[in-house]
A and B are shown apart, each in its own frame.
Chain A
Amino acid sequence: MSLREADRISSAQQTLDILFEMSQLLNTQLDKETLATCVGMIESGVNPEALAAVIQELRREGAALNAQATADGRESGAGR
């Protein structure tokens, strides 16, 4: 069990890199951290399409809040 955990840790970085590249290729605009979180969630059994919808929602929410707030916030929110 611990060996398996060790393997995961060693290659997790690599996998994450690949996925990140893919996400960049697909222009998903996720940063590495968020992507890692998402992948973790998916691995734990979250419905991927629903998760995609959630991300979508949250972005929209964030953007709306930014619009309400300052112009800087918008820049930073959209830039992600």
Chain B
Amino acid sequence: MSTSSLESLIYSLVPQARLDQVLKKELITHCKDVLSSHIGQTRQKDIGHLSDLVKRQLAQTRPDGISSLQFTNLLSRLLEQPVLSRKYDSLLFLHSLASSTRNPSPAPSFLPSLAPPPPLTARTPINSSPADGLPPTRLPRGKSKAEILRDFRNRSGRPHLSEELLLRDTLYLLQGISGKYIRFSPANDEGRDMSLVFTEDAGHFIPRPTKELIYRLSEVGHLYTRVDRFVRDRETLTGVGMIEQSLCHHLQSQLTDYYRLIAVFESQLTLSSKSLDDTASRAEPDIRAEESGLTLKRLDVWVNEWRLRMRMMSVCVEAARDTHGGALVNLIHSYTENGDPFVRKFTDQLLEEVSKPFFGTLQKWLFSGDLYDPYSEFFVSVDPGLAHLQYVHPSTPSAGFGTLSGDGGFAGLSGDQDEILERESGLRLWEAKHQFRKEMLPTFVGEGFGRKIFSTGKSLNFIRYSCHDTDWVATREKLNNTDGTLQYSDIAGLERSIDTAYRIASQRLFDVFFEKFRLLDHFRALKNYLLLGHGDFADQLMETLGPSLSRPANTLYRHNLTATLETAIRSSNAQKDPPDVLRRLDARMLEYTHGEIGWDVFTLEYKVDAPLDTVLDPDSMVKYLKLFNHLWKMKRIESTLTRGWMRTGSGTKAFVHIPELEPEWHRIRLYMAEMIHFIRQMEAYCQLEVIECSWKALMDFVHDKEGDLDALIDTHRSYLDRMVKKILLIGSRAGREENLLNQVRDAFSTIIQFHESTDNLYNFCLTESARRDSERDARRGVFTGAEQRNGQTPESLLRSLRQCMEHGAAFSEQTQAIVHSLQSHADLDCRFLGIRLSFSDFYRSKKEHPQQR
């Protein structure tokens, strides 16, 4: 190390050392100690940082700023010099020295505290800084660059417009008013979009950056005019929706806030300009004005938040032009899903306001079933044609019905036309009176809840107007009003209320239907009468009606039928049924054509009225009639066969004298047994497997009491459809659904024909046997009857026999075909019917038998 340079250093700083060798040596060793220490060795060599430090230091000592400028200058020059390899170190040296000279007692901030304390610290520093002793001579302030520039501009005749004037204009712009130097001008004919025009002349020149700034500011003004115009337009317009009205209100209150802001700006402006006037004489501008005065840039910062807010508002305004009602709420709601907390908060507030009328309507709808929506903004709309339709329901039955059950038969006689009209409106009223408009449903509600709300209100409305149960609804409404109002901020509460209201309403609807209107009784009556559930009644009816139904249809009279029905009711258990049910039961004839007999056209009917026809709609009733028709036919076959079996059974005794026909009769009995098996299985299948099973499913639903009227209608419909499908053996192949049914019907008619020919044979046998009896009597010499050898020759006997056998064989074949079809039927129950019909593979072996032969 350069001891010589160290020596020279010591000599120059401590002149005494030249004379004193001991002192010199001491100092050298000490200095070497210090130098070999690791003070600040680890610092990074960042010359920029260092120069910053130096500048800060300079600024502290001499606040005029010139010295730091000088330093910058010097540093740049130094950096250009190629000589020094360690410029940073040199600079650091100077800086350390400078900072240590100024405040020597505490270690300089960047020196690590670990640095070894200089051994001479004990001695008090005598001279901290000679500069301190000097008076603070502030350099006279030179002209700043900006001032120089301004002077230059003034000289060259292009003075900048003073900021105060621009500020004043900008404040006008913020209110959408053109200023003196800057004004709005419509860019196109509509006047919707505007552009900014700067008025410049020789005396006034607006620099570009300022223009940019003013453009930014004027956006707020432009948006303001849009929002303001919208609000004003809506104020004068009539027929503006409530949601829109509340939007306007919210916008208006926002605008009021905005006016307040502008007013603050104005006062600031006058304040600052006044203070500017005051300080105009002085050379230095007032520090206070500099701190708080209004400038374009400050304005920009302050207005920033409002810019966002105005943008949001103008978006809403734009949207409100095209949409309205729930869709508008939806649109605003779509902005709440924003990551920007400001936007989110703003839209939340807005939505809170805007959705108030919506929630008002919702509340009314949800709790009282009233749709109060004069501007059709709600997501439920009412069909104007059906809105005022209410029908008079016979909830208080007139005296005649209650006392005389017999009246039931005649009740239907009066005005069939009116009734049909009314029937149609029952289901239609429920389904079409209110419509669900998905596009109007606010998204924050969710479609599931929307449906629930819709259903709840519909149920209440129905209870109220169609079931005339206003009191209950009114009570409910009062109860619910105490719960507090629904609002946007309480979505969870809303969902809870919806759930509760939905449950209560559907519960009530069920109660109304099942208790007030005895829907279950009607279901049961339909099952008992139209589906022949009451066996004794059906038998009775069959017995009393049978003979007259064999006559041609045009000889039948309705009053005879109804009288017979009455008899059947009275003589069976059916008389125990409530009179309200019985009076609805009616017998009538379908429209008939020439040649049809009573069996073809007779039908039972069950009359339903409002509001029951909501569930038991005309379509369902047609299905019931269809089922009845089929079951009734089956019943007829059954009773026919029963009678036939009795005859053939008892006939064996009677025909003991005609032994030559004994094998024929045996075969007839076999055929008949086959038929009886067939019809029994059919009936058992219909009653037990289809009707009762379906009924159970329906009852399960009824007891659960869950869901709304729609669910009830659906369940009943599926109950009915299931029965229709299975009883009528509807196939799955398109176009040939009724194939099987037709086959069964053919089998039925074959049975009837077989029965007729057996009857003929029976009659013949009876007369033949009587003849032989009298012959035998005559042989014994007893004359018991006139000898009447009439024309009944063996030919007619043979013909009857042949017919019997033909029909029997035909039936057997038909059954075989039916069984075959049933085996490949899509429905499992029907397939089982096939198995039952052909139990122990009776028909298959029969089929294989002829093949084997």
- Chain A residues engaging chain B, CB cutoff 8 angstroms: 7-8, 11-12, 14-15, 18-19, 21-23, 25-31, 33-34, 37-44, 46-67, 69, 73, 76-78, 80
Contacts and interface: CB of A to CB of B under 8 A. Distances in A.
Contact of B78 (A22, A51, A53): A22
Contacts of A56: 97, 100-101, 104, 118
7 contacts: A15-B83, A21-B74, A37-B8, A46-B1, A49-B40, A57-B118, A80-B12
A25 B85 CA distance: 22
Nearest to B71: A25
Contacts of A39: 84, 90, 93
Contacts of A55: 9, 13, 97
B35 A80 contact: no
B14 A25 contact: no
Interface in B1-41: 1-2, 5-6, 8-10, 12-16, 23, 27, 30-31, 34-41
Interface of B: 1-2, 5-6, 8-10, 12-16, 23, 27, 30-31, 34-41, 54, 57-58, 61, 67, 70-71, 74-75, 77-78, 81-86, 89-98, 100-102, 104, 111, 115, 118, 120, 123, 125-127, 129-131
Contacts of A12: 83
A15 B90 CA distance: 11
Nearest to B131: A27
A75 B703 CA distance: 117
B333 to A, nearest CB: 65
B157 to A, nearest CB: 41
B2 A44 contact: yes
Given A18-B74, A62-B13, A64-B120, A47 B35 contact: yes
B763 to A, nearest CB: 144
B78 A15 contact: yes
A76 B16 CA distance: 12
Nearest to B8: A37
Nearest to B30: A57
B2 to A, nearest CB: 6
B9 A28 contact: no
A42 B84 CA distance: 10
A57 B78 contact: no
Contact of A49 (B16, B81, B96): B96
Residue with the highest number of chain B CB atoms closer than 10 Å, among A12, A49, A60, A77: A49
A50 B84 contact: no
Given A7-B82, A65-B16, A29 B130 contact: yes
Contact of B6 (A41, A67, A80): A41
A7 B6 contact: no
A8 to B, nearest CB: 5
Contact of A58 (B5, B10, B36, B84): B10
A53 B34 contact: yes
Contact of A25 (B35, B41, B74, B93): B74
B58 A25 contact: yes
Contact of A62 (B16, B34, B130): B16
B16 to A, nearest CB: 5
A28 B600 CA distance: 131
A41 B2 contact: yes
A19 B94 contact: yes
Contacts of B67: 25
B127 A78 contact: yes
B99 to A, nearest CB: 9
A54 B8 CA distance: 13
A23 B94 contact: yes
A34 B15 CA distance: 13
B94 A26 contact: yes
A30 to B, nearest CB: 7
Going nearest first, the 9 A-B pairs with the smallest beta carbon separation are A48-B93, A26-B98, A52-B96, A62-B14, A49-B40, A58-B13, A48-B89, A15-B81, A52-B97
B83 A8 contact: yes
A41 B35 CA distance: 11
A40 to B, nearest CB: 6
B81 A18 contact: yes
A33 B1 CA distance: 19
A30 B12 CA distance: 10
Nearest to B57: A26
Contact of A43 (B39, B54, B81, B84): B84
Contacts of A44: 1-2
Contact of B13 (A25, A28, A51, A59): A59
Contact of A26 (B1, B2, B41, B58): B58
A11 B81 CA distance: 7
A43 to B, nearest CB: 6
Contacts of B125: 60, 63
Contacts of A49: 39-40, 92-93, 96, 111
A53 B107 CA distance: 10
Nearest to B32: A54
Contacts of B8: 33, 37
Given A55-B13, A63-B126, A29 B101 contact: yes
Contact of A30 (B34, B39, B97): B97
Contacts of A43: 84-86
Contacts of B92: 48-49
Nearest to B120: A60
B89 A42 contact: yes
B40 A28 contact: no
Nearest to B68: A25
Given A27-B61, A60-B125, A41 B5 contact: yes
Nearest to A58: B13
Contacts of B111: 49
A27 B104 CA distance: 14
A55 B93 CA distance: 10
A34 to B, nearest CB: 5
A19 B38 CA distance: 25
Nearest to A22: B74
A40 B91 CA distance: 13
Contact of B40 (A19, A47, A60): A47
Nearest to A16: B83
Contacts of A7: 82-83
B782 to A, nearest CB: 165
A65 B129 CA distance: 18
A67 B16 contact: no
A54 B96 CA distance: 11
Given A7-B83, A18-B81, A48-B92, A28 B74 contact: no
A38 B34 CA distance: 15
B127 to A, nearest CB: 5
A54 B86 contact: no
Given A48-B89, A50-B40, A64-B120, 6 more contacts: A28-B101, A54-B6, A56-B118, A57-B120, A64-B123, A78-B130
B94 A28 contact: yes
A64 B67 CA distance: 32
A58 B1 contact: no
Contacts of A78: 126-127, 130
A28 B84 CA distance: 20
Interface centre among B13, B34, B81, B129 (most CB of A within 10 A): B13
Contact of A27 (B36, B82, B91, B129): B129
A4 B38 CA distance: 32
B78 A18 contact: yes
Given A11-B82, A58-B9, A22 B16 contact: no
A29 B2 CA distance: 23
A42 B95 CA distance: 14
Given A19-B94, A27-B61, A29-B101, A50 B15 contact: no
Contacts of B30: 57
A26 B95 contact: yes
A19 to B, nearest CB: 6
Contact of A52 (B57, B61, B100, B127): B100
Contact of B84 (A15, A21, A57, A66): A15
A3 B102 CA distance: 42
Given A43-B85, A56-B100, A38 B70 contact: no
B13 to A, nearest CB: 4
